[in-house]
């Protein structure tokens, strides 16, 4: 049987879950062990993607999945190459550029697991110093290599978040939690310094629909309700009365309603900092101030739900004075990605298999996670999708063999088989199992490309530095990590 030499573009959770599944279904003690090699490429120098650069710092338990990823990386059949940008120009000058054409001759299979890295902007709210995407905030407080500028919190008393998903609540919580409470977590010292100078007194969280349609989870809402020195502005009782008699509520909707009825732990009027959930409001424009003594003016259309639960304007509007608007409306894949479909906002894929513009399967090219489905779901759903894609890879490679019994995916349909017969070929069937592109090899020797052993050294050092400061870890940026690794290599030699 020909080998599976898989290049995974992206090294976030979906990538590692696919790799872990393949390694476990083709164990080192099994007959197919020697036929599998997996190489993960990421334009970031550190692995784990959103787990490192997207999870809120005060949610350390969410990062426990990295233990499973570390187990996968301990298998010698898997290698990680960080700081390598596969595809068009990278936003980071320090990354090694590598075209897909230069990658293809070395692999029999390719998986795109690049996530959704481009924020969706609101058409009425163009980016400016008064309006930024939530992704910039998240990348700032997780010290992402994109290095967004710190928000001007020292002169910001009112922040407005557009969107009522978990990311909005993460950002609000970071702005309202006392910095001393955050100091024990994975919050970089420069971020804590900015938060300690913050003048934020109120955060408005705006959504175009009502409480039953809000995208945040009960867990996230409960955390907002329990903020130590902030309180929630009470909702208009009419908003809750309208939904109290609603039948067929989901379990989450019922719990959300109960939390909203109860209100925050701190009673209104007892705290200096406050926050509000502003339902049935949709932004229509932002007027920026003409002097430093003024605030920006956010115009909001009042909305209601039509019979299909879509938000429609009522004809009324209001204005909200604010210092900073942060939009949190979702994400899409990069339009420059191969097989990107503009109407979908992600790659064209069918049951994990990449499809070209003519609807033909690209043989042995796959997509998983947000790259294939769009930016939705949590780590648990990402894992299940990744496992399904791994199973598909094995079914395609071992048709009719017993290895299929290990894969839980649905059996192939006649349509799938017919589509596979008309698939296009872009990858070789035979390759050198140990070879990697020469530019990557040179990058490893120069210290420009990182491997998993490099990451393990940086990870241990970040944790050590954090322990000295009484916190989870103290993060390094690329320049510091590069110098640290160069010093370690010198000491070893």
Annotated binding site for FAD: 14, 50, 86, 370
Q: From the annotation, which residues make up the binding site?
A: 14, 50, 86, 164-167, 208-209, 220, 370, 377
CB atoms within 10 A of CB 461: 18
- Which has the closest alpha carbon to 80: 142, 141, 16, 131? 16
What residue numbers does the annotated binding site for NADP(+) cover? 164-167, 208-209, 220, 377
**Which residue has tokens 């109407």?**
343
Q: What is the DSSP letter of 120?
A: P
Query: Residue 396: in which H helix or E strand, if any?
Result: helix 379-397
Q: Residue 475: left (phi > 0), alpha (psi -120 to 50), or beta?
A: beta
DSSP 405-420: GG--SPPPPHHHHHHH
Tracing tokens 């009470």 back to the chain, one arrives at 234
The dihedrals phi and psi of 36, each to the nearest 5 degrees, come to -120, 130
Report the DSSP pairing between strands 349-350 and 353-355. antiparallel
Contact of 440 with 106, CB cutoff 8 Å: no
What is the distance between the alpha carbons of residues 389 and 373, in angstroms, rounded to a whole number? 12
What distance in Å separates the CA atoms of residue 106 and residue 37, rounded to the nearest whole number? 11
Buried b (16+ CB within 10 A) or exposed e, 142-151: bbbbeebebb
> What residue spans of 161-314 are helical by DSSP H?
166-176, 179-182, 189-196, 218-225, 237-244, 251-262
Percentage helix, strand, coil, to 5, in the chain?
Answer: 35, 20, 40
Q: What gap in Å lies between CA 414 and CA 48, rounded to an integer? A: 37
Q: What tokens were used for 329? A: 């409306």
Tokens at 135, concatenated: 């992704």
How far is 167 from 220, CA to CA, in rounded Å?
Answer: 9
Around Cβ 263, how many Cβ atoms within 10 Å?
Answer: 15
Beta strands at 273-278 and 281-287: parallel, antiparallel or unpaired: unpaired
Taking a C-beta distance cutoff of 8 angstroms, is the pair 473, 462 a contact?
yes
- Asked if residue 320 lies in contact with residue 204, where contact means CB atoms within 8 angstroms, the answer is yes
Pair of tokens at residue 280: 């049935």
Residue 98 · residue 84 · CB < 8 Å:
yes
């Amino acid at each position: 049987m020909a080998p599976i030499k898989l290049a995974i573009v992206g090294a976030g959770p979906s990538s590692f879950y696919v790799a872990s599944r393949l390694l476990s279904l083709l164990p080192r003690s099994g007959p197919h062990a020697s036929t599998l090699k997996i190489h993960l490429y990421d334009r970031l120098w550190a692995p784990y993607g959103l787990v490192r650069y997207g999870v809120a710092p005060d949610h350390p338990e969410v990062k426990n999945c990295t233990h499973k990823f570390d187990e996968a990386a301990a298998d010698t059949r898997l290698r990680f190459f960080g700081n390598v940008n596969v595809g068009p120009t990278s936003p980071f000058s320090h990354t090694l550029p590598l075209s897909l054409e230069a990658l293809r001759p070395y692999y029999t299979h390719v998986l795109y697991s690049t996530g959704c890295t481009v924020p969706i902007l609101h058409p009425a709210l163009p980016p400016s110093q008064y309006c930024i995407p939530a992704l910039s905030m998240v990348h700032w407080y997780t010290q992402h290599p994109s290095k967004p500028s710190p928000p001007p919190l020292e002169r910001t008393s009112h922040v407005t978040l557009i969107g009522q998903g978990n990311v909005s609540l993460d950002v609000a919580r970071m702005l309202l939690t006392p910095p001393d409470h955050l100091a024990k977590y994975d919050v970089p010292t420069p971020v804590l310094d900015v938060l300690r100078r913050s003048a934020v007194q109120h955060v408005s969280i705006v959504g175009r629909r009502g409480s039953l349609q809000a995208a945040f989870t009960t867990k996230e809402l409960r955390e907002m309700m329990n903020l130590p020195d902030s309180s929630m502005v009470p909702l208009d009782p009419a908003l809750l009365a309208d939904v109290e008699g609603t039948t067929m509520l989901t379990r989450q909707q019922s719990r959300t309603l109960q939390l909203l009825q109860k209100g925050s732990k701190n009673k209104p009027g007892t705290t200096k900092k406050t926050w509000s959930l502003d339902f049935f409001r949709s932004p229509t424009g932002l007027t920026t101030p003409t002097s430093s003594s003024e605030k920006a003016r956010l115009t909001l259309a009042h909305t209601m739900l039509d019979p299909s639960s879509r938000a429609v304007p009522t004809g009324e509007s209001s204005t909200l004075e604010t210092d900073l608007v942060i939009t949190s409306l979702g994400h899409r894949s990069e339009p420059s990605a191969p097989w990107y479909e503009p109407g979908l906002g992600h790659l064209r894929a069918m049951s994990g298999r990449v499809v070209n513009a003519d609807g033909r399967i690209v043989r042995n090219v796959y997509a998983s996670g947000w790259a294939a489905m769009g930016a939705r779901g949590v780590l648990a759903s990402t894992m299940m999708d990744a496992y399904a894609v791994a199973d598909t890879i094995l079914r395609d490679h071992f048709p009719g063999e017993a290895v299929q019994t290990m894969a839980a995916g649905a059996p192939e349909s006649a349509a799938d088989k017919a589509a596979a017969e008309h698939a296009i070929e872009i990858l070789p069937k035979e390759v050198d199992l140990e070879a990697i592109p020469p530019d990557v090899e040179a990058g490893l020797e120069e210290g420009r490309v990182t491997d998993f052993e490099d990451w393990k050294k940086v990870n241990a050092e970040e944790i050590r530095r954090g322990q000295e400061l009484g916190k989870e870890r103290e993060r390094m940026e690329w320049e510091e990590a590069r110098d640290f690794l160069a010093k370690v290599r010198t000491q070893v030699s």
